[in-house]
Amino acid sequence: MNDASMTLAGLPPTGNLINGTWTEGGSRFPVVDKFTGRAVAEVCAASREQVSQAVRIGRAAVEHGAPPPHERGQVLHRAAALLDVHRQRFVDVMVAEAGFTLADAGGEVDRARITLALSAEEGVRLTGEMVPFAASPGAHGRLGFTQRFPVGVVCAITPFNSPLNTVLHKVAPAYAAGNAVVLKPSALTPLTSALLGEVLLEAGMPAGFLAILQGEGDTVGNWLLEEQDIAFYTFTGSTRVGRLIQQAAGLRRTQMELGSIASTIVCADADLDRAIPRIANAGLRKAGQVCTSVQRLYVERSIADEVTARLVEFAGTLKAGDPRDPATRVGPLISIAAAQRAEQWLREAVQGGARLHCGGERQGSVISPAVLTGVPEDGRVWCQEAFAPLIAIRPFDDFDAMLASANDTPFGLSAGIFTRDLERALQAARVLRFGTVQINESSSARSDVMPFGGVKDSGFGKEGPAYAIREMTEERLVIFNP
């Protein structure tokens, strides 16, 4: 463990951030390089008392009052600039602890800058609205308007597959709205959040408004659910854990981005030169570990063979392996166990009658990009979230039946359709029960400015700075009655 500095230059803090101070001590857990399997650091797990202390300090900070909106915006803008200063450190950390390729890690930093800037801008223009009392007989003389106020302490529980930008989609809007944030990052990727904490403090974020508590969900996560002074939980992760958080939250507010089985549709009139690279990248980037990764691909039968062949050809150009190699496009999964699970699911699919056209080989935690056809309806790669670099193709003849099949999962996060037929595009937008329906784009395209969230077992509430800020504030009606 002591050779961490040899692996990561400028190792981030390995303690817990409470009231502006990194606190060491207590039990520790290892952080491993997801490609080599070697430990790169040991991180201190927060104690039960540290969890309570962080929440108490956050509540006191909010009660004392946040800096004015323009000052909060300045902090976030400075943090965005500091991401460039520390860019290589962020890339190195994410390549090691998340297994990101150099391209994916660089893209994560680029998007994080945008998220910070958007949050800074939205925080200074957060306003209410006028109430049209003139519509009510006898109340026409009244003047009414709404104002928005911070909810208090926001608890952010974040995943391993976007350890910087998803974290900022919670932390930055929460602070922009005037809330204090208690962040519990994934225990698989704690160092990126620690480095982000360094940056936010350097940018001038007041000490009481940010705490970072490291540890497992079964301990630190559960303790956070017991803290009644937390006003809002924002969570990205599994539907199973989301249900536990919602049950514990009771009448307190939450935002949940949960499980997914994303579908993308390719109609016979689609522009395949546009569609194929988008689909392949969406299904296979970050080793398929994106909640909107293309997993189910419906292709109109007349072009199914061509689409399959072109996807196989494209997948063959995506080198899988060492994420530090600039030529690598598909890095390791988050663990050996995750790669073994994906390998087993692919093996089961083939045993059930599917054809594996390419990929599926495992080397350690790396799975080569896989394209399948003929996956049985009950195959796990078809009916459960794979979170691996694989795309399952199914031909369709009946457009209505295909839409019904896409809807036939417990989840509803994002879907995409490629077509030049306006009627089909509009029908898909009406019928597909997903939080986002993309026309002439894959299910996995995302701009950080847009509202992002799901329906059904994929959760509720919206990310996207403008929308998250509104969720993390309370609306108050003010009435003047002359």
Catalytic site positions: 257, 291
User: What are 438's two structure tokens?
Assistant: 């993309």
Block residue for tokens 């208090």: 152
In 8-115, at which residue ranges do the beta strands (DSSP E only) sit? 16-18, 21-23, 28-32, 39-44
Give dist(CA 258, CA 411) in Å, integer: 9
**Encoded tokens for 64:** 């004392």
Reported as half-sphere exposure (CB side, CA atoms, 13 A), residue 187 has a value of 16
User: Which residues fall within 8 angstroms of residue 68, CB to CB, at 6 or more apart?
Assistant: none
Contact 295, 261 (CB under 8 A): yes
Say whether 367 sits in a helix, a strand or coil. Answer: strand
Bridge-based pairing of strands 153-157 and 143-150 is: unpaired
Exposure class string for 109-147: b at 16+ Cβ within 10 A, else e: bebbbbbbbbbbbbbeebebeebebeeeeeeeeeebeee
User: Would you state the torsion angle of the CA atoms of residues 373, 377, 381, 386, taken in this order, to the nearest 10 degrees?
Assistant: 130
Rounded (5°) CA angle 110-170-158:
90
Would you give the DSSP letter of residue 373? E
- Give the separation between CA 465 and CA 119, rounded to whole angstroms: 5
Residues 293, 255, 157, 107, CA torsion sign: positive
Helix (H) or strand (E) holding 4: helix 4-7
Q: Among candidates 258, 237, 80, 74, which has minimal Cα distance to 163? A: 237
DSSP code string of 96-121: HHT---HHHHHHHHHHHHHHHHHHHH
Report the alpha-carbon distance of residue 389 to residue 410 in Å, rounded: 21
Amino acid at 145: F
